[in-house]
Amino acid sequence: MYYTYVLFSLKDKSFYIGYSSNLKKRVKEHAQGKSLATKHKRPYKLIFYEGFINRIDAKNREEYLKSGWGFRSINKMLVKTLGEVR
């Protein structure tokens, strides 16, 4: 399985969107500061993920969520969750 995921920075209220074949390991790496892209915005909270059988599908979903339409979709889908963490 491959996973597309959204992390929410509790520090600056920003999103990080990625994909991985090992979601638990990847989220742990973000939490430990092993990713240069997210190290300075810790701590993070995992607020959304989706599973895919195919890596390309997970990558395409990641790219969509990073787009303007995808970003709007995240805000619409997770309105209750974002209201709780913001």
Domain residue ranges of the chain, discontinuous segments joined by +: 2-85
Enter the tokens of residue 56: 């390309």
Strand order across the beta sheet in which 2-9 lies = 15-20, 2-9, 44-52
**Domain 2-85's class?**
alpha beta
Across the 86 residues of the chain, what is the mean pLDDT of every consecutive 10-residue run? 97 96 97 93 96 98 97 92 82
pLDDT value for 58: 98
Q: How far apart are CA 44 and CA 31, in angstroms?
A: 7
Q: How many CB atoms lie within 10 A of CB 45?
A: 14
